[in-house]
Structure 1
Amino acid sequence: MGAGGPASELIMFIVAVIVAGTVAGALTYVTNDIAHGINDKGSLLADKLRTDFAIINDPLNIPNSTSTNQYNYTFYIKNTGKTQFPFNPNAVQVFIDGDIVPPSNLTFTDINNNTITYLNPYEVGKIVVSLSGPLTKGSHRIVVVLENGERRSLIFKI
């Protein structure tokens, strides 16, 4: 009877140490997971803050032309951020009046009409939107969305 008390206390102590170690390990894992999540989210936010652009057209005078049943409208994009961003039909989506313009109907160039794939800080690029029919007279809206989700819109008149 004298040996039963200390043995059971020893077993209870060992169980308590194992439970405490398991709880500490679980808390360490959860805390580490939260820290990594915050770090990843911070990196994404920092990237978004360094990426900025503007549509710099005169909304009352959108350059346009016609060629072989194609109506072309030119929009100027200026990289006002601190880092370059992809500037090509695979990375940039364009919407006119809520309808997405297919990548095959978009041409990305610099202001000298040279094809480019990235727009560097403070540079101006052109997006030429080719449509099968002319835009109707009146107000329209273009929305340009970069691959990281940054978006800008412009209401313009034809």
Structure 2
Amino acid sequence: MPTGGELMSAGGPASELIMFIVAVIIAGSVAGALAYVTTDLANSMKDRGEMLADSLRVDFAIINDPNNIPVSGTGPYNYTFYIKNVGKDIISFNPNSVQVFIDGNIIPSANLTFTDVNGNSITSLNPGEVGVIKVTLGNALSAGYHRLQVVLKNGKRRVLIFKI
């Protein structure tokens, strides 16, 4: 018949084995969690990099002389703004993809006309091309300084402070 000391020694390796199995399970869980977090972080960095690359490829400039904005008509008034695609990708150039604000007020798409410099209707601007946005307003802008903001569908925006 075994003595009490012999039972203790037989239980020692069993408890060590249990502790080892628990440690392996915990280590596996931690490794799995770290792998998930690392993969999630890598995917987020990839997505962010693609967004930044897209933002750098799509760019434009408002190239008007801020002291001499072309205007025609005596009611309604047509103000002409020139937009140049200075990026590397084609820009969608139509009332559905470009918003125009003057002095913080959005101009309805029905009051916007998008053409090339020859007056032909267009829907996109290739890199290096210049497009024209004609803004039709019922009342003339008051004398003084005004703020034009043009926003593309991807959120890229440019501002021109101009004088009438």
Please state how far the C-alpha of 1:17 moved relative to its aligned partner: 0.5
Q: 1:58 aligns with which of 65, 88, 94?
A: 65
Q: 2:156 aligns with which of 135, 146, 150?
A: 150
Q: Which has the larger radius of gyration?
A: 2
In the alignment, does 2:89 pair up with 1:99?
no
Seq. identity, %: 68
Q: Secondary structure at the match of 2:73?
A: strand
TM-score (norm 1): 0.93
The aligned length equals 157
* Aligned residue runs from structure 1 range 36-55, under 5 A: 36-55=43-62
1:116 maps to 122
Letter in 1 for 2:81: F
Structure 1: stretches of 5+ with no match in the other structure? none
Please state how far the C-alpha of 1:109 moved relative to its aligned partner: 1.2
In the alignment, does 2:131 pair up with 1:125?
yes
Moved more, 27-36 or 141-150: 141-150
1:13 maps to 20
2:146 maps to 140
Aligned counterparts of 1:54 and 1:127: Cα–Cα separation in 2? 13
Please state how far the C-alpha of 1:3 moved relative to its aligned partner: 2.7
Aligned counterparts of 2:110 and 2:25: Cα–Cα separation in 1? 63
Moved over 6 A (4+): none
After superposition, what is the alpha-carbon deviation per residue over 1:21-43, rounded to whole angstroms, capped at 9, x for unaligned? Answer: 01000000001101111111111
